[in-house]
């Protein structure tokens, strides 16, 4: 069973550290090996949202856990592709 962490509606430079810390704490403390970050609520974001997701990925790998991203907004997926990091943010499999 996956453990799901949700992103807020807004994730810009202003909110990044406040959003990142609880996500990292959850990844570190949670016993689950499979994690999903639900980005479906994201409406307002900048490149800081990518930085948060990439840091969560690094932490998951360091903790020997898997991480997938659910419902990444198309504009954020496009930004990830533009920066060449889309392969580092695996999408959750459909129906999972």
**What is the rounded end-to-end Cα distance, in angstroms, of the chain?**
9
Ranges of each domain in the chain: 3-88
What integer pLDDT is reported at residue 17 of this predicted model? 96
Q: What is the pLDDT of residue 30?
A: 87
**CA–CA distance, 93 with 22 (Å, rounded to integer):** 24
pTM attached to this predicted model: 0.92
d(CA 95, CA 2): 12
Question: In a structure prediction context, what are the per-residue pLDDT tens digits for the chain, which is 96 residues long?
Answer: 789 999 999 999 999 999 999 999 999 998 999 999 999 999 999 999 999 999 999 999 999 999 999 999 999 999 999 999 999 999 986 555
Q: Which fold has domain 3-88?
A: Transcription Regulator spoIIAA (3.30.750)
pLDDT of residue 37: 97
pLDDT score recorded for residue 2 = 86
**In this predicted structure, what is the pLDDT of residue 94?**
57
Backbone angles phi, psi at 8, to 5 degrees: -80, 180
């Amino acid at each position: 069973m996956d453990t799901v962490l949700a992103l807020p509606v807004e994730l810009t430079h202003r909110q990044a550290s406040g959003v990142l810390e609880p996500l990292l704490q959850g990844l570190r403390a949670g016993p689950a090996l499979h994690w999903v970050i639900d980005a479906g609520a994201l409406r307002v974001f900048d490149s800081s949202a990518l930085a948060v997701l990439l840091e969560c990925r690094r932490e998951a790998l360091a903790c020997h856990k898997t991480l997938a991203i659910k419902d990444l907004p198309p504009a954020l997926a496009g930004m990830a592709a533009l920066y060449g990091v889309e392969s580092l943010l695996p999408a959750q499999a459909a129906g999972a």
